[in-house]
């Protein structure tokens, strides 16, 4: 039975990645979610056969059937990674509270990677959905007071990020943390609780360092999207929470 569920989660991961790609692109460009997908080059409306995750790309050999221009190669790669992550999450957690949180965090990561790297935007709607989803899930799993405390954690981290952003803007004389990053902090606090969320913040700066250094020396554009690194750190800390607990215990007396 486990093998069928892993395949099921793999397929769901692939399909959702394809959907998230559409959501992130259209919302970031200010377009509506309704309406059929089109080829980016010739604007030909794509049929359902050309929208099957990974499969369509392989059948069409990575090119548009109508104008023969290359299709974006990152799309099937993201779909494949998403499928693997969903399947891994099921195999790692089984059916429990952590599975649904981790699937939500992977989904949020996919949306933020696309919107923040491509458009320097973290969309409000996925953050709002995530905050509500986590609240309701915590309420169902652990009761109302636990759910309420997770909101307090979210609010506290939101205020901490707001303060860091304010200090950063005074020190560097420009926006140090984007509004989207500060709103993402709410979800981080809600999902992890304050001590672990702060560890995720520290980890995210280490994750961002190579990219920031690279972009500083390689191009004119100096602004670094921080969201992808924050949400990656959030996923890593959530996945290895027992390891981070050991580190946390070293600092508590």
**Could you list the residues that contact Zn ion (CB under 5 A)?**
39, 41-42, 64, 66-67
**Which of 60/98 has CB closer to Zn ion?**
60
The residue among 108, 70, 82, 75 whose CA lies nearest residue 190 is: 108
Helix (H, G, I), strand (E, B) or coil at 45: strand
In whole angstroms, the minimum distance from the beta carbon of 78 to Zn ion comes to 20
CA atoms within 13 A on the CB side of 244: 21
**Which of 26/41 has CB closer to Zn ion?**
41
DSSP state of 48: G
In whole angstroms, the minimum distance from the beta carbon of 53 to Zn ion comes to 18
**Which of 64/241 has CB closer to Zn ion?**
64
Which DSSP helix (H) or strand (E) runs through 219? none
CA atoms within 13 A on the CB side of 72: 16
**Which of 64/80 has CB closer to Zn ion?**
64
Helix (H, G, I), strand (E, B) or coil at 232: helix
In whole angstroms, the minimum distance from the beta carbon of 27 to Zn ion comes to 23
In whole angstroms, the minimum distance from the beta carbon of 18 to Zn ion comes to 18
The residue among 51, 1, 227 whose CA lies nearest residue 126 is: 227
**Which of 39/155 has CB closer to Zn ion?**
39
**Which of 67/148 has CB closer to Zn ion?**
67
Token couple for 111: 């949306």
In whole angstroms, the minimum distance from the beta carbon of 36 to Zn ion comes to 14
Tell me the DSSP string of 145-200.
Answer: HHHHHHHHHHHHHHHHHHHHHHHHHHHHSS-SS-HHHHHHHHHHHHHH-HHHHHHH
In whole angstroms, the minimum distance from the beta carbon of 14 to Zn ion comes to 22
């Amino acid at each position: 039975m486990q093998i069928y569920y892993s395949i099921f989660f793999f397929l769901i991961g692939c399909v959702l990645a394809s959907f998230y790609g559409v959501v992130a692109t259209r919302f970031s460009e200010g377009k509506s979610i309704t309406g059929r997908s089109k080829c980016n080059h010739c604007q030909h409306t794509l049929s359902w056969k050309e929208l099957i995750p990974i499969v369509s790309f392989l059948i069409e050999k990575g090119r548009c059937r109508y104008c023969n221009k290359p299709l974006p190669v990152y799309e099937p790669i993201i779909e494949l990674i998403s499928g693997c992550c969903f399947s891994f999450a099921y195999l790692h957690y089984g059916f429990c509270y952590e599975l649904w949180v981790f699937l939500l965090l992977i989904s949020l990561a996919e949306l933020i990677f696309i919107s923040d790297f491509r458009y320097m935007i973290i969309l409000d709607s996925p953050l709002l959905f995530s905050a509500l989803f986590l609240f309701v899930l915590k309420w169902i799993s652990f009761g109302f007071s636990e759910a309420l405390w997770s909101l307090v954690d979210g609010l506290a981290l939101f205020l901490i990020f707001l303060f860091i952003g304010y200090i950063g803007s005074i020190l560097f004389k420009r926006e140090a943390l984007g509004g989207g990053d500060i709103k993402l902090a709410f979800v981080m606090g809600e999902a992890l609780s304050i001590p672990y969320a702060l560890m995720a913040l520290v980890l995210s700066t280490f994750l961002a360092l190579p990219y920031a250094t690279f972009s500083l020396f390689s191009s004119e554009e100096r602004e670094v999207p921080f969201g992808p690194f924050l949400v990656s750190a959030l996923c890593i800390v959530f996945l290895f929470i027992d390891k981070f607990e050991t580190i946390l215990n070293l600092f508590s007396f």
